[in-house]
Amino acid sequence: MNDHSQNRFDACKALSASRFEARVQDADHQNLLDITEKERTSVLPWKGQFSPQLVEFLISRYSAPNKTILDPFCGSGTVLYEAAQMGCGAIGLDINPAAVALAQIAKLCNAESSDRFQLVEVIKRTRIDAAKMLSGEVSTLQLTSLVSELVAEGEDEVSKIVKTAYLMLAFGDGSSTDLKKLNRASSMLCEAVVRLPKSSMHIEARIGDARATDLPSRSIDYVLTSPPYINVFNYHQNYRQITEALGEKPLSAARAEIGANRKFRQNRFMTVVQYCMDISAMFCEMGRLLKPGSPLTIILGRESSVRSVPFKNGELISAIAIEGMSFKPIEWNERKFLNRYGAIIYEDVITMQPCEVDLSEAVEIGRAVGAQALRNSLSYCEAERVAEIKEAVSAASKIELSPFVLEERLG
């Protein structure tokens, strides 16, 4: 494992060295990180998604035309669209079938204008057909029947992509829709298809686990991603009912979700350890995929809380990747923005140069950092949390990685 050996890794020192105050750098491009002048929104909606302008800036800073960019937590595909716009190839992976169904629209960046206008007609016909079949509230069974009528077996791949995305947008997170939603989804998707950037570079989105991809070693020039945070909301609930009606199994994704708040209900603090282990496995895989000397940029919310006990996400990442796995730090900046409730949100933007690390050693580094972060939290948590945290520390050696998504889908 590079110049570190596991028995010499000190998680306490690693976390101390990774304190935000000691690591963060002033940025001469702060206005671009903060997006002080917001001009664009993402092509398609997804909770927790990137800002297109932030992605554009980071790609321009760390990549170049004709390079291949990977987003292993791609959501609805913002990185893919921006990469195409800037002349790069892009691969998006996500464990969530709903995310991938939307992100696959980015593949149409390779389509000619004439083909796009034909797809617009496909979307409009699907809207008309759906409106004719609709009658009041649509139950889950009726929803499944509706989908089977509108997305036919044996349909060509591109038509299936746009029909699937259309139905996702029309139904959202519910099992029913109405004419207004059908029309709004049609307008949104038609506009997206027509306005997508034209690219001859390979653009792809598919189901995949960031910790274990099937991509070739040393095939990626830049990784740009925003992974889930500890105790984050359950992404598999996004578009869940329509996703199930389309024949997918979002609950398989749920079991593989990194940091999800549905895990370890008997003791939520165990999530901290598993999160660090899963993120370590992801970093190990990115070290395998990136070409030597190529960068990785990760954007994380500054802080996550488990039962009102805060943990600094960036500090965990630094302790694992930089201190533990010997990734070379390039930049650690912060960005801030106002959310829709008027609160200031802070994020860490960390860019590193990965190296190859043995998976088992990487996972143990993550385990050690997670357990130490829990020990550290004993100094500032409320008294009623102490017993739970100590119990989670004691259980740390028995905690396993989250299930791998492809194994779940095959199971």
The pLDDT value recorded for residue 244 is: 86
Cα separation of 216 and 96, whole Å?
Answer: 22
Contacts of 286 (CB under 8 A, 6+ apart): 70, 72, 210, 220, 223, 296, 354
Give the number of other Cβ atoms within 10 Å of residue 39's Cβ.
8
Residue 397 in tokens: 């050696």
Give the number of other Cβ atoms within 10 Å of residue 305's Cβ.
11
Helix 359-377, helix 386-395: angle, nearest 10: 160
Strands 303-306 and 296-301 turn out to be: unpaired
Question: How many residues does the structure list for the chain?
Answer: 411
The pLDDT value recorded for residue 1 is: 45
SS3 203: strand
SS3 273: helix
| Among candidate residues 298, 223, 210, 225, the one with its CA nearest the CA of residue 68 | 223
The pLDDT value recorded for residue 150 is: 87
On the 0-12 / 13-18 / 19+ scale of CB atoms within 10 A, 354 is buried
Hey, where are the domains in the chain? 6-109+201-410, 112-195
Cα separation of 49 and 17, whole Å?
Answer: 30
SS3 265: coil
- With b meaning 16 or more CB within 10 Å and e meaning fewer, what string describes 61-82? ebbeeebbbbbbbbbbbbbbbb
Residue type, 26: D
DSSP assigned state of 262 = T
The pLDDT value recorded for residue 410 is: 43
DSSP assigned state of 335 = E
The pLDDT value recorded for residue 252 is: 73
| Among candidate residues 277, 273, 290, the one with its CA nearest the CA of residue 352 | 290
The pLDDT value recorded for residue 179 is: 87
The pLDDT value recorded for residue 260 is: 78
pLDDT profile of the chain (411 residues), mean per 10: 61 93 78 84 73 95 98 95 98 94 96 96 94 67 75 85 93 84 94 95 97 97 95 69 83 79 84 97 98 97 94 97 97 88 90 97 98 99 98 98 68 44
Look at the domain 6-109+201-410 and name its fold.
Answer: Rossmann fold (3.40.50)
Cα separation of 135 and 177, whole Å?
Answer: 9
| Among candidate residues 121, 105, 344, 99, the one with its CA nearest the CA of residue 228 | 99
Cα separation of 183 and 210, whole Å?
Answer: 35
Residue 396 in tokens: 């740390």
- Specify whether the CB–CB gap between 305 and 231 falls below 8 A: yes
